[in-house]
Structure 1
Amino acid sequence: MLKSLTIKNLAIIEDITIDFSSGLTCLTGETGAGKSLLIDSLNLIFGKRADSDLIRFGAEQAYIKAHFINLDEKITTYLKSQELPDKDLIIERVITIKGSNKVLVNDVLVTLQSLKELAFLIGDIHEQHDTASLINPETSLTILDAFGNLTEVLNSYLILKFNYEEKSKLYEHALKETIKQQDQLDKFKYYYDELTKANLVFDELTALKEQINTLRNKKEIVTNLEKAYENIKIITEEDLLYQSLKALQSLEKFNLGNLQERVANSYYELDDLKGEIYQKLLEVKDVSLLELNNLEERYFFLKELEKKYQKPLNSLITYQEELQDEILKLENYDLYLEKLLKQKEKAYQEAFKSAEDISQKRQKLALMLEKEFIASLKNLAIDYVSFKVHFKKTELTNNGIDDVIFLISLNEGEPLKPFYKTASGGELSRSMFALKMIYGKVHNLSLMVFDEIDLGVSGEASLKVADALEQLAKERQVIAITHLPQVASKASFHYHITKATNQERTTTNLKLLKGEERVYQLAYLLSGSKLTEGALLHAKELLKEKKP
């Protein structure tokens, strides 16, 4: 039960605290006095997103606190599951201009989502625009699902539906790609064959570069030894040094020193040197040049492959393996398609089965709702009611496989039609009231709040609505904003809301009416601004009729 509500610096509300009791509490007041701000405050307590525009002009923050007592078992169970104190329940909302808002449950910071989950267990708030949802056929399914609390199963279904959509997209994409497969297969096979024949080895280019540098040094030695050998060979082949020796030998009778000996030594030394250089050349040359040519050819071949495929050598080896996988996939593409199709069909069956389960739950809910709704409306001064929750099967949508619309007839002999084609304003209000009463019963709510649920209701119907609210308040706490004296007279607590201007600032004021003040307020609601004796007597009679 909501024990009290404190509101500070919210729009034209400066600082008020409202005490509530079990049973029915009514709030009356002129339009614009601040009644709807009380609904806004309760909506914030129930998890509505905060807007800094609600903060009273000149204030840094707005503050709302709700104190609940005598908690239901489902509420205490939830609090325990969240490791929160569970004796009483105090919910606080702090809204700041800077946006550093706070949500506290029993002095513990919680998320807005956690607050919404908790509020769902506490009660329900009817706002004036909620009634308009009845004239929108698209909201019928939303209303029906709310009775069954199908959020969790719908979320599970949506996961399955999303999985089916992803599998379907994958299959359709693969199907469109079929035409391109043969061209890709031929291309991949060519690439794979070329890379396979290349006998690629990790880090081969680095190793080749080192070997080539070593062999290029050997090439320089071979080149210069060949040059030296060829030059000495020219000298020895032309026999010029030998002829010089013969010439000096003919001059032996002349004393020319050791010239003959020196030339002879040079001749024999040069011949020996030629043989040694040739032997060294054979040793060094061996097969080095052939090996160098082969290595260089291999090196430049690999560099060309890198350039062609725009990949370094090691990546080409990885790419070769990838090509093998792609070729295997393409060569078995029919099997791949068949696999994707089976995955798609399985995902569809899982999603459809979930949607069917939800549909069956909805149809059971619909039977209950039809029966309860007709009975409730008949208690609200509507003599004839025929009501049907009409189902139409659809393809898989975010709502399952059901398209639902509420059909109603309020005149015997008239066919069932959507609400917007047949119900008046007062009939729409009473229809929404009936739905809300059933909703509260189904979910065993401890608190129900109504903002002008009696809009457009008059005459005998207003008495029936008042009686229904009074009866409802015996089962759960009810807070109602109303302009109907018949409803206000049934309240255990009757607050009157006014606004006043002081020092050029407007402020909402709240007063608990008792005795004559309450009689006068009811008379005012009956007759308008001009009070009459008849209105006063009628007001007193209404209060006397209040059931104990």
Structure 2
Amino acid sequence: MLTQINIHNFAIIEDVSVTFSEGLTVLTGETGAGKSIIIDAIQLLAGGRGSVEFVRHETDKAEIEGLFIIDGKYHPIFEVAKMYGLEILDGQVVLQRTITSSGKSICRVNGKLVTLAILREFGKTLIDIHSQHETQSLMDSENHIDLLDLYDEAKINQAKKEYRTLYHKLDKLRKRYQQWNENEQEMAQRLDLIQFQLKELEEADLQPDEDKMLEEERNKLANHEHIYKGLQDAYRALYGEQKGMDLINEAQMALLNNSEYDDFISEKADQLANQYYLLEETTFAIRDYLDNLEFEPQRLNEIEARLDEINRLKRKYGPSVNEMLHYMGKIAEEIEEITNKDSHLALLAEEMKEIEKDAEVEAMELHALRQQSAAALVKEVEQELRSLYLEKARFSIHVETGKKLQENGLDHVVFLISTNPGEPLKELAKVASGGELSRIMLVLKKIFAKHQGVTSLIFDEVDTGVSGRVAQAIAEKIYQISRDSQVLCITHLPQVASMADTHKLIGKAEKDDRTKTYVLELTRQQKTDELARMITGSKLTGTAINHAKEMLDLAAAYKITV
């Protein structure tokens, strides 16, 4: 969950630090006080799009830092961290985002610099933000298949994975077939080019590791004088009268002649004898190498010429001889394929046909699983809608099977609803009002909260357009969601605010001719006053205060039953 966020020089916020707890945290306050700005800051932490407009006037940069505590070692963020080589210690994740007045965006995860794309990967496992704008995504039927697949994720994901393996293989073969079957002129030009390249490489008669071996030989020949002198000096130091070997032999004999008097001398005499014979072998090896060492200027010229030729080919075909040989094999295979294009096309067509059959089988298996999932989801959605006073609503999921294989199979999924008796089922965008859409979104969010694994759900005025008993039902639904995930909620409804486990008031004040935002966590009495203000709009009355107390008491009683 999100435990703390620090915001500095962000919009009208100069410096604010907000702590959050488990359960439902409600943010209330006057319009323009900065409630949504705090949500904007959290959204930037999750990898949202930044802008210089967020940087407080007359400051250099806006800075946001959020601390998340992760419960359980199987949270998806650990896989993301492993993927990008980041370490998570003690279940703590710190996201940081800085936006400069020049428009630069700097992102960090646990102190390590990352790209915005990587920050977004972390953010989407931690935060799920829903606003009136975000709710519109429900209307787009393109998103419905992903929502349905999420419902029975374990079973459907396995089937989808098996299908996609075949689909991607088929797609790759189709592109290859199309490439082979089109652009005859380009294919002919390609054939001429690679035939010329193959001929040039074959005539070069390259051998594996030839460049490395030639460079080693060139190094020896180019340094012949140094090598000869070094070997000769070493040999002269070892062999001859009163030289190394002669002196070691004297030492060996001195020990040997007295070995019978002392075990230590005997042991060292044997060791020195062994070392003498090894050193003698080395001396003779140096002598033999010297006898066979010849300076061959002609060979050096040949090597230089051969390396020049190899380096010329490297500039065209690869950084080493081995890679050029690998390239030779590739173009030889390509030449064979182009030359026998018709037979290769026939083989490709046959392979595509077989894979397409297998993919269609997997797609129909995926379709059957989606049909089962859709039936269960419809039943659960309708049950939840009844608790939000949409008793007459009918919800349906059409899983239509197409003829063309796509990334997600053959299916096109559409969520349909009818909110009034006698009305036909229609797509969400054509039926649902703002208030109805808010309720439908809350229902889906409650159902999917346990599947998504995010640590914090954020609702930004998703209860707009509702009142009365519907507002109370929405408040209860939001509280139910908070039992499984941390929920942060901006609201203008006293019914929702009364359900808060933690109630924070967002306000603004003027200081030094500048507007500053502050955050205050409310006590029981302050909650009562804030609820009364939300009920009346401004002036506190005894009736409003009594009503607020009653709402808090009813909310407390309801929480015991959940």
Amino acid in the other structure paired with 2:492: H
2:150 touches 2:451 (CA, 8 Å); kept in 1? Answer: no
Q: Does 1:450 align with 2:456?
A: no
Residue 56 to residue 357, structure 1, CA distance change in 2 (3 Å): farther
Alignment-derived partner of residue 143 in structure 2: 139
Q: Give the alignment of 1:279-290 within 5 angstroms.
A: none
Q: What is the CA-CA distance between 1:97 and the residue it aligns to?
A: 3.4
d(CA) in 2 for partners of 1:324 and 1:485? 74
Alignment-derived partner of residue 415 in structure 1: 424
Alignment-derived partner of residue 347 in structure 2: 339
Which residue of the other structure, out of 531, 534, 546, is the alignment partner of 2:543?
534
Q: Give the alignment of 1:33-432 within 5 angstroms.
A: 33-69=33-69, 71-75=71-75, 77-78=78-79, 81=82, 82-98=86-102, 101-147=105-151, 161=167, 163-172=169-178, 174-175=180-181, 334-349=342-357, 351-352=359-360, 355-356=363-364, 358-394=366-402, 395-432=404-441
d(CA) in 2 for partners of 1:404 and 1:151? 16
After the TM superposition, which of the residue ranges 6-15 and 45-54 deviates more from structure 2? 45-54
Q: Does 1:27 align with 2:27?
A: yes
1:124 touches 1:440 (CA, 8 Å); kept in 2? Answer: no
1:93 touches 1:104 (CA, 8 Å); kept in 2? Answer: yes
Q: Counterpart of 1:85 in 2: which secondary structure? A: coil
Residue 153 to residue 420, structure 1, CA distance change in 2 (3 Å): same
Residue 359 to residue 95, structure 1, CA distance change in 2 (3 Å): farther
d(CA) in 2 for partners of 1:155 and 1:33? 47
Amino acid in the other structure paired with 2:385: L
d(CA) in 2 for partners of 1:29 and 1:3? 21
Q: Counterpart of 1:37 in 2: which secondary structure? A: helix
d(CA) in 2 for partners of 1:152 and 1:48? 30
Residue 366 to residue 119, structure 1, CA distance change in 2 (3 Å): farther
1:72 touches 1:446 (CA, 8 Å); kept in 2? Answer: no
Q: Counterpart of 1:8 in 2: which secondary structure? A: strand
Residue 403 to residue 328, structure 1, CA distance change in 2 (3 Å): closer
2:446 touches 2:480 (CA, 8 Å); kept in 1? Answer: no
Alignment-derived partner of residue 497 in structure 1: 506
d(CA) in 2 for partners of 1:152 and 1:505? 56
Q: What is the CA-CA distance between 1:353 and the residue it aligns to?
A: 5.2
Amino acid in the other structure paired with 1:29: G
Q: What is the CA-CA distance between 1:546 and the residue it aligns to?
A: 2.1
Q: What is the CA-CA distance between 1:46 and the residue it aligns to?
A: 2.2
Residue 202 to residue 422, structure 1, CA distance change in 2 (3 Å): closer
Q: Counterpart of 1:407 in 2: which secondary structure? A: strand
Q: What is the CA-CA distance between 1:45 and the residue it aligns to?
A: 2.4
- Alpha-carbon deviations, 1:31-84, whole Å to 9, x = none? 332211121122222232433332212222222122233623323854874433
After the TM superposition, which of the residue ranges 523-532 and 93-102 deviates more from structure 2? 93-102
Q: What is the CA-CA distance between 1:6 and the residue it aligns to?
A: 1.2
Q: Give the alignment of 1:496-515 within 5 angstroms.
A: 496-515=505-524
- Alpha-carbon deviations, 1:506-541, whole Å to 9, x = none? 322222222443222212211223444332221121
Q: What is the CA-CA distance between 1:350 and the residue it aligns to?
A: 5.6
d(CA) in 2 for partners of 1:357 and 1:37? 46
Alignment-derived partner of residue 495 in structure 2: 486
Q: What is the CA-CA distance between 1:461 and the residue it aligns to?
A: 0.8
d(CA) in 2 for partners of 1:525 and 1:167? 63
Residue 123 to residue 177, structure 1, CA distance change in 2 (3 Å): closer
Q: Which runs of 5+ in 2 are unaligned?
A: 193-201, 205-330
Alignment-derived partner of residue 13 in structure 2: 13
Q: Which runs of 5+ in 1 are unaligned?
A: 189-200, 204-321
Alignment-derived partner of residue 460 in structure 1: 469
1:171 touches 1:344 (CA, 8 Å); kept in 2? Answer: no
Alignment-derived partner of residue 235 in structure 1: none
Q: What is the CA-CA distance between 1:444 and the residue it aligns to?
A: 4.7
d(CA) in 2 for partners of 1:328 and 1:174? 9
d(CA) in 2 for partners of 1:329 and 1:22? 65
- Alpha-carbon deviations, 1:310-345, whole Å to 9, x = none? xxxxxxxxxxxx999979966x55423312312332
Q: What is the CA-CA distance between 1:433 and the residue it aligns to?
A: 0.5
d(CA) in 2 for partners of 1:462 and 1:153? 40
Q: What is the CA-CA distance between 1:428 and the residue it aligns to?
A: 0.8
- How many residues in Structure 1 have an aligned counterpart in Structure 2? 416
Amino acid in the other structure paired with 1:43: Q
Question: What is the percentage of aligned positions where both structures have the same residue?
Answer: 37
Q: What is the CA-CA distance between 1:10 and the residue it aligns to?
A: 1.2
d(CA) in 1 for partners of 2:338 and 2:485? 66
Q: What is the CA-CA distance between 1:463 and the residue it aligns to?
A: 0.9
- Alpha-carbon deviations, 1:4-48, whole Å to 9, x = none? 211111111111111212221101123332211121122222232
Cα RMSD after superposing both structures: 3.8
d(CA) in 2 for partners of 1:79 and 1:362? 28
d(CA) in 2 for partners of 1:147 and 1:122? 19
Q: Counterpart of 1:33 in 2: which secondary structure? A: coil
2:180 touches 2:341 (CA, 8 Å); kept in 1? Answer: no
Q: What is the CA-CA distance between 1:450 and the residue it aligns to?
A: 0.9
d(CA) in 2 for partners of 1:476 and 1:495? 18
Residue 323 to residue 36, structure 1, CA distance change in 2 (3 Å): closer
Amino acid in the other structure paired with 1:505: R
Q: What is the CA-CA distance between 1:147 and the residue it aligns to?
A: 4.3
Amino acid in the other structure paired with 1:104: R
After the TM superposition, which of the residue ranges 509-518 and 343-352 deviates more from structure 2? 343-352
Q: What is the CA-CA distance between 1:482 and the residue it aligns to?
A: 0.5
Residue 36 to residue 541, structure 1, CA distance change in 2 (3 Å): same
d(CA) in 1 for partners of 2:183 and 2:119? 49
Q: Counterpart of 1:545 in 2: which secondary structure? A: helix
Q: What is the CA-CA distance between 1:160 and the residue it aligns to?
A: 5.3
Residue 396 to residue 101, structure 1, CA distance change in 2 (3 Å): same
Amino acid in the other structure paired with 1:372: E
1:462 touches 1:484 (CA, 8 Å); kept in 2? Answer: yes
Q: Does 1:469 align with 2:473?
A: no
1:61 touches 1:94 (CA, 8 Å); kept in 2? Answer: yes
Q: What is the CA-CA distance between 1:418 and the residue it aligns to?
A: 1.4
Alignment-derived partner of residue 216 in structure 2: none
Amino acid in the other structure paired with 1:528: G
d(CA) in 2 for partners of 1:54 and 1:367? 45
Which residue of the other structure, out of 523, 526, 535, is the alignment partner of 2:532?
523
d(CA) in 1 for partners of 2:159 and 2:87? 26
Amino acid in the other structure paired with 1:396: L
Q: What is the CA-CA distance between 1:496 and the residue it aligns to?
A: 1.7
Q: What is the CA-CA distance between 1:388 and the residue it aligns to?
A: 1.3
d(CA) in 2 for partners of 1:108 and 1:444? 24
